[in-house]
A and B are shown apart, each in its own frame.
Chain A
Amino acid sequence: MKFKHAVVAGWIGLMAVAAQAAPTMMSLQVQSSPLRATPSPLGRVVATIQYGDRVEVVARQTGWMQVKSPAGQVGWVNESALTRNRIVLKAGADDVSRTASGEELALAGKGFNSQVEADFKAKNQNIDFTWIDRMEAIVVSDPEVVVFLKEGGLN
């Protein structure tokens, strides 16, 4: 039994040391995200990070993580945009902004990707993506949201 306890204690110790020594690293799993000065949906934007960027977690608050970007900038990101997995990009992050229907296979992103979509389109020519592409062009900025909320008397 003593040996068993020693093994358990050793294991717990190892976990504690590892937790202290290694900073928690996360990757951005969406195309891009602002780093905000405060953990809030419309907090001031201090920088922008890109798909696959590895960031170091500095602090946490319900639903949000304060992270340090590869360039050393610190700001808050919603935790749903981060993953513990490392994301390997085949090409630069700039390629992500190309249209999904483009010829370029922009990402190492495995599985369902632009190549699969192109194959799907070829087999289902009755399914029209025109409106989906038009939808994606509709961008609403933070300042627009702020004005909309303010005019509507919202929080």
Chain B
Amino acid sequence: MKPVYRWMLGLAALTGLAFVSGCASIAKVGAAVGEATGTLTPQQAESLVKSAEAVEKTFKDITPEQEYYIGRSVGATIISTYKVYDNDEATRYLNVLGQSVARFSDMPNTFRGYRYLILDTDEINAFAAPGGFIFISRGMIRLCTTEDDLAAVIAHEVGHVQLRHAVKAIKSSRLTSALTTLAVEGTKSLGGEQLAQLTTAFEGSITDITATMMNSGYARGQEREADRAAITILQRMGYRQGALVDVLGRMGKALQTDQRGFGSTHPPADSRIKELLPIIDDTKTPVPTAARKKRFDRLLQGI
């Protein structure tokens, strides 16, 4: 049999097996099939398993449950840098608004849901940790003049969560070491050495994410993706899509003189606004009610 046919037979058998096995590791099944049909030597099969496993060792292997644990530690690290604005009423309002926004995103359910806190700083900033732990600074809230503006800021952060930008900031080498540990772990409780390896990878992941969020910032393309996700959410909810442009414009002005926080980690507002203008359509946006204005003004009074 010509090699090409043997490969195709192997592939056909693999397709059948994949349907049957469903969740089994395709890489291993593939190699086993290749070996059984004589298309691969045992060494080639072994090599295929290894290379396929290497490909699998990416951020895609981070489950929502693991993202949740990463998010908790990233959030705790942020809170250890900034003070929390401890005001029950303001926090409650932000969570009702924020959890409403999240419900209209393409990822309404993270592992344990979206949560919000206000950071007690004048710095204009917002952070979205994996799993939906979102932090908005008082400086950022003060920049908002309406609930629509704040909804736009939140929707942008939810966009980062649904697009998993923070998780993508983890260096793949860390995940490789973590997943090697996983391969021997099985469903057992972790042994001392395995736990130490995993914790090292975990610490490294937290460092990668917080360094990206607090120092270097996401790639410009990722900011634009989050902006587009925000517009979709605002449109679905009936908030004014132009609010995102307004906030970006105000941010651009404010940050000309203040390079802390957002200014140092985000691309210039002008280029983002330019990309948003063609996709914004507020012709069908409902008129805000007096109640909407009142509840937002109440938040601003304390901020």
Contacts and interface: CB of A to CB of B under 8 A. Distances in A.
Given A131-B117, A145-B103, A154 B238 contact: yes
Nearest to A109: B65
A10 interface: yes
A63 B106 contact: yes
Interface in A64-104: 78, 80-81, 83-88, 90, 100
B203 to A, nearest CB: 6
B29 to A, nearest CB: 14
A100 B68 CA distance: 10
A3 B5 contact: yes
B56 to A, nearest CB: 12
B100 A148 contact: yes
B126 interface: no
Contacts, number: 200
A15 B15 CA distance: 7
Contacts of A120: 73, 199, 202-203, 206
B97 A116 contact: no
Interface stretch (B40-48, B260-268, B283-291): B283-291
B5 A7 contact: yes
A151 B289 contact: yes
A155 B77 CA distance: 36
B292 A151 contact: yes
Contacts of A51: 65
Interface residues of B, number: 79
A45 interface: no
Contacts of B72: 100, 117, 129, 132
B76 A129 contact: yes
Given A7-B12, A115-B195, A116-B69, A136 B115 contact: yes
B30 interface: no
Given A30-B111, A132-B76, A115 B190 contact: yes
A42 interface: yes
A13 B244 CA distance: 51
Contacts of B20: 18, 22
A140 B95 contact: yes
B189 A110 contact: no
Nearest to B1: A3
Contacts of B199: 116, 119-120, 123
Interface string B1-41: 00011001101100110011011000000000000000000
16 contacts: A10-B12, A14-B16, A18-B19, A18-B20, A25-B22, A29-B65, A78-B106, A78-B107, A105-B189, A107-B65, A110-B187, A112-B62, A140-B100, A149-B100, A152-B288, A155-B237
